[in-house]
Amino acid sequence: MRSLTLAEARERSSLITVTSYAVELDLDQGPDVFGSRTVLRFGCTTPGAGSWVDLKAHSVESIVLNGESLDPAQLADGRVALPDLAADNELAVVATMAYSHDGQGLHRATDPADGQDYVYGHLFLDAAPSVFACFDQPDLKAPYDVTVHAPEDWTVVGNGAATRAADGTWTLATTRPLATYFMTVCAGPYVSVRDEHDGIPLGIHARASLREPLERHAAELFDVTKRSFDYFHGLFGIRYPFGEYHQVFVPEFNAGAMENPGCVTFRDQYLYRGAATRDELLTRANTVSHEMSHMWFGDLVTMQWWDDLWLNESFAEYMSHRCLVEATDYTDAWVDSSIVRKVWGYGAERSPSTHPVAGVEALDAQSALQNFDGISYAKGAAALRQLIAYVGDDRFIAGVRAYLTDKSFGNGTLADFLRAIEASSGKDLEAWSRAWLLTADRDTISVEIDEQNGVVERAQVLRESPADRPADRPHTFDVAGWTDGCELGRVSTTVTGPVTTLPELEGTPEPAVLVPNASDLTWARVRLSDSTVAALPAQLPQIPDEQARAVVWSALIDGVHGASVSPDAFLDVFDAAWPQETNSSILTRVAAYAEHRIVPYFVPRPEQDAATARLNRAAAGLLEGAEPGTTESLAAARLVAGTSDDEALLRAWADGEGLPAGLEDDGDFRWIVVRNLAARGLIGVDEVDAFRAKDDTLQGGLNALMCRASLPDPEAKAWAWRQLTGREGRSNYEMVHLARGLWVAPDDALVADYVPRYFTDVPAMAGWVGEDALSRVVLVAFPRVFTEETARLSAKTIAREDLTPAVHRSLVDADAELREALASRQTFGAAV
Ligand SMILES: [Zn+2]
């Protein structure tokens, strides 16, 4: 299907004004297809001109434009030409559409727990025409009237309040004007919990088999929802405009969540079946708040074209953290941002695919998607924090309010947004936005100290911008130092040149650990001094400032990726500091990063068992001392389960014996144990199947696939490869879980055959897997055989001209990580 180009979108929106959509969906036609009838009313500024409507149908029954039938056979490449338009037009399209299984369009999944089917619409970014005939571009907004026919026992939720008539038809209330990609319908035997706040009816919904966790988590979810509503109402000064507010936890969702007005969809792993760490609850609260902030920024005011999608996400990323800190108990949300979101964004910045936050002209819709990454979220949010430091918070918020008011129910651009902030602040943002938004890459900041007898004589902040992407970014941040847990000095500074002196530090004792950007206000590579890195094992656990500790961990991770910190130095800090960590985000995320990234990527294969054993010792020590049922205990138990080589312990835990308190009936915890047993070859297919039978759920099925693919025998790998790359009709989630298990192997020889096959078979999957899902599969399935030969095949594949944009982008990113791993092994290999 061809992707809409910017030129086409501009031309069509200059010609067309959409008045309304009436969409009728028949979801009672079995598991494969559904009926779709659209009546589209629209104006045309130049009567007599032609245009087209977007439609990706399984079959088309009829197309009637202003009473005249058009030949359905003329549907080509996802478009139907509309000739000779009148000033006012009515288009009626009757079609049959296919359900999807890759999380794009109207996704349908069967829950193995009870055999029930569930449907949800995810029409971002250009999947709307696979559900109804439409002018699919973000600046052609219109109100929707949606009706749905569904099986007798189904519930229907959508953008407008749903009511069920006597004949079983569901009617959704007429919406406010929406962009096409926001339209959604969720239908199935969903179970619901309802509430109300400040006049807004609230609902949360999930599969019937998730009733227990839904009810268990409902109070927390509603609490964050209500606090976020109050906070955003106060901050934006505009009432939530979309009627009811539903949050639907749906199966096999590609992203975290989607901000459909009035009907937000979430991945249903967020309804944690077993024990959840505080960090997991924080992450979910952050997602709830993030999606809600989009109701104003994104939904009420939508970007004109996809190249400003970043502004939606940067804004929501910033606002959700601000809301959590100011309006909920998750007052450490910025710590989470440092150790989760910014670590992700810095990874994107290190890749050759990095790009400016804004101003990358997206010539078509699909190419916009390729620049939608950690830069759009984490760097954009950091840039907004720097913008606030530059213009002042009151003026920033006044500008945001003016922008949202001025563009309500319409569209805006970056230029509109900056103009609003310029008007409210009286500051010219031309140079600021050129440096921060329009130039890729990041500065490196470090602090240089001259000392005499342990007293600072001179302290300077050094700011280096990349030679090939020069920029003059102003940074506002602070520098802080500690010795034995005592803060010896903290200085706020605004850096506007390559060297900035910090006179406040002169004459103060030189600290053992000095942290630039200690409160993590800016976006930069933080270079820790050699003496600071050497002091960290002893000093980091004593630093009372959790935000600064997160900055240190982030800098270490960045340093390992950049081959400036050895994996061994990282593990030294891990051994000493991790078990004493008290912040839930740092504790859980650093553990996961060490286990799943640092050791398998950066530690050479012969040393990996010893490195894993180090992680295991640290985790076992923490588990022993931690209070049962706490985040510490849970994080430690998970790391023990994933890293232990103690067969007796693993078998006991898998059989439910001697489990740490709170994990007795935790199916997800059991799968961590079973996966470890499978990866070590201590169990076989039959036992994996037996554990699957104990957890016959969607999540259990996915874990069983991953475990089976992890088995260290050639037959299991061959099976996994066929399941992953064959046209077996595997869903998006199933493919990712197969890929996760595939490369798990005690030695490279077991999986070496699949390295060349990856570079031919996986790109070919673009023939039947959607781009959004495939981009994840390409990343997760990338060979974990870290050799020059893999790098050679990778480079050769990236140079191919027939790759789809998503495959190309993901290959570039995975290849960058391979090269980081190789560089680190080359630099530190002998010393580990
Ligand atoms: Zn978002």
Q: What does each C-alpha distance from 540 to 281, 548, 586, 621 come to in angstroms? A: 26, 9, 12, 18
How far, in Å, from the CA of 292 to the mean position of ligand 1?
A: 9
Burial class of residue 507 (count of CB atoms within 10 Å of its CB; 0-12, 13-18, 19+) = exposed
pLDDT digits (tens, 9 = 90+) for 130-175: 999 999 999 999 999 999 999 999 999 999 999 999 888 999 999 9
Instruction: List phi, psi (to 5°) of 807.
Output: -65, -45
The alpha carbon of 352 and the centre of ligand 1 are apart by a number of angstroms equal to 24
Which regions of 373-474 does DSSP assign to beta strands (E)? 410-412, 443-452, 455-464
Q: How far is the CA of 344 from the centre of ligand 1 (A)?
A: 15
Decide if 457 is catalytic.
Answer: no
Residue 697: strand, helix, or coil: coil
**Per-residue 3-state assignment (H helix, E strand, C coil) for 252-319:** CCCCCEECCCCEEEEEHHHCCCCCCCHHHHHHHHHHHHHHHHHCCECCCEEECCHHHHHHHHHHHHHH
Q: Select from 474, 553, 473 the least CA-distant residue to 513.
A: 553
- C-alpha 514/C-alpha 333 separation (Å) is 23
Give the pLDDT of residue 830: 56
The dihedrals phi and psi of 456, each to the nearest 5 degrees, come to -70, 125
Q: And the tokens for 643?
A: 């890293």
Taking the centre of ligand 1 as the mean of its atom positions, its distance from the CA of residue 273, in whole angstroms, is 25
| Rounded Cα–Cα distance for residues 470 and 448 (Å) | 22
- Tell me, in angstroms, the distance from the centre of ligand 1 to residue 798's CA: 29
Q: Which pLDDT belongs to residue 634?
A: 97
Q: Which residues contact 380 (CB under 8 A, 6 or more apart)?
A: 310, 311, 313, 314, 315, 317, 318, 357, 358
Looking at 259, 291, 581, 771, which residue is catalytic? 291
Please write down the long-range contacts of 729-732, taking CB distance under 8 Å and 24 or more positions apart: 729/101, 731/101, 731/102, 731/109, 731/252, 732/101, 732/102, 732/103, 732/252, 732/254, 732/769, 732/770, 732/773, 732/776, 732/777
Q: How far apart are CA 103 and CA 88, in angstroms?
A: 36
- Quote the pLDDT of residue 361: 82
d(CA 578, CA 587): 7
C-alpha of residue 258 to centroid of ligand 1, in Å: 7
Distance 728 CA to ligand 1 centre (A): 32
What's the CA-to-centroid distance between 222 and ligand 1, angstroms? 19
Q: How far is the CA of 541 from the centre of ligand 1 (A)?
A: 34
Residue 498 Cα to ligand 1 midpoint, Å, equals 35
List own/partner pairs for 744-749 with CB under 8 A and 24 or more apart: 744/679, 744/709, 744/710, 744/712, 744/784, 745/712, 745/717, 745/784, 746/680, 746/681, 746/712, 747/605, 748/605, 748/785, 748/787
Going from the Cα of 368 to the center of ligand 1, the distance in angstroms, rounded, reads 15
Residue 608: what residue type? Q
24 CA → ligand 1 middle, Å: 28
What is the CA(817)–ligand 1 centre distance, in A? 26
Tokens standing for 167? 């004949």
User: Cα(69) to centroid of ligand 1, in Å?
Assistant: 41
Question: How far does residue 583's CA lie from ligand 1's centre (Å)?
Answer: 25
Instruction: Output the pLDDT for position 832.
Output: 38
Q: Which two tokens stand for residue 282?
A: 């924080």
Distances, alpha carbon 684 to alpha carbons 582, 681, 709, 712, 824, in Å: 38, 7, 11, 9, 35
Of 785, 724, 730, the closest CA to residue 756 belongs to 785
CA 593 – ligand 1 centroid, Å: 24
Q: Cα(313) to centroid of ligand 1, in Å?
A: 5
pTM over 0.85: yes
Amino acid found at 638: R
Task: Identify the CA nearest to 548 among candidates 577, 571, 508, 591.
Answer: 577
CA of 290 to the centre of ligand 1 (A): 6
User: What is residue 115's three-state secondary structure?
Assistant: coil
* 289 burial type by CB count under 10 A (0-12 exposed, 13-18 middle, 19+ buried): buried
Residues 394, 397, 400, CA angle at the centre, nearest 5°? 150
Distance 363 CA to ligand 1 centre (A): 22
pLDDT of residue 367: 83
Question: How many helices (H) and strands (E) would you count in the chain?
Answer: 28, 28
**What is the distance in A from the centroid of ligand 1 to the CA of 806?**
19
* Radius of gyration from C-alpha coordinates of the chain: 27
Q: Specify the residue for token string 């036609």.
A: 29
Q: How far is the CA of 291 from the centre of ligand 1 (A)?
A: 6
Sequence-separated (6 or more) residues with CB below 8 Å from residue 393: none
CA distances from 668 to 337, 700, 708 (A): 25, 8, 16
User: 819 CA distance to ligand 1 centroid (A)?
Assistant: 30
Q: How far is the CA of 256 from the centre of ligand 1 (A)?
A: 9
**Which residues of the chain fall below pLDDT 50?**
831-832
Backbone angles phi, psi at 96, to 5 degrees: -115, 130
- Measure the CA–CA gap between 737 and 728, rounded to whole angstroms: 15
Residue 327 Cα to ligand 1 midpoint, Å, equals 19
Residue 266, beta-bridge partner list: 249, 257
pLDDT digits (tens, 9 = 90+) for 20-68: 999 999 999 999 999 999 999 999 999 999 999 999 999 999 999 999 9
